[in-house]
Amino acid sequence: MTPALGVRHGTLFDLPMGASIAPPMNRRAFVTGLGAVLAAPLAADAQQRAKTPRVGILFYGFPPASEPSPPVRAFVNGLRGLGWVDGQNVLLEWRYAEGKTDRFPALAADLIALKVDALVAISTPAAMAAKQATTTIPTIMLAVSDPVGSGLVGSLANPGGNITGLSLLAPDLSAKRLDLFKQAMPKLARAAVL
């Protein structure tokens, strides 16, 4: 059976040529949180038949042509360090939007139909699609620029609902960052951000 466009089970993604990756994130905290999410269904089903947890991953980019990118390797190695090995005791279901954000709702629906135990949404459009698709499946957002402003969560301190995760930028901190910069350079008259 040939996989559908943008769907490959058990593979890792790599960014397309020329694309940049987000600044480094606290992968240890993310992997620990994901480990907790993966453990929850196992604890709840302890008296039932053993089930391999399934994690759906929504990604903006393309399936890998060869080697996974360093952040993906770190993610998979972090899971492995916690005892989670794809294909052995966890199933990682990767879905790729291939640069087309309008594909996210269908990809999210596909993962929900597979009855995933958790979703990982990498980008704001992916997280928005996950939020619209489910209010019950635990969802971890990554590389989201403004989760509060986009309506994904109620607040950073208390997200509420089924979504949690990491944000690239907290707009509330921009003024504080500029203030710290001015304290470090008191004679600063103008600043520019690229």
The pLDDT, as a whole number, for residue 23 is: 46
pLDDT digits (tens, 9 = 90+) for 128-185: 999 999 999 999 998 888 898 899 999 888 888 999 988 876 666 777 777 888 888 8
pLDDT of residue 42: 58
Please, how many CA atoms are within 13 Å of residue 126, restricted to the half-sphere of its CB? 27
Distance CA 27, CA 149 (A): 24
The CA-atom distances, in angstroms, between 159 and each of 138, 165, 176 are 12, 9, 22
* Choice between 8 and 166, residue whose per-residue pLDDT is larger: 166
Quote the tokens at residue 176: 């504080």
pLDDT category, 116, cuts 50, 70, 90?
Answer: very high
Query: Which of 30-44, 85-99, 102-116, 180-194 shows the lowest mean pLDDT across its residues?
Result: 30-44
Sheet of 7-9: strand order equals: 7-9, 91-96, 54-59, 118-122, 139-144, 163-167
Out of 47-56, 63-72, 98-107, pick the least confident. Answer: 63-72
| All domains of the chain in start order, with CATH | 7-184 (3.40.50.2300)
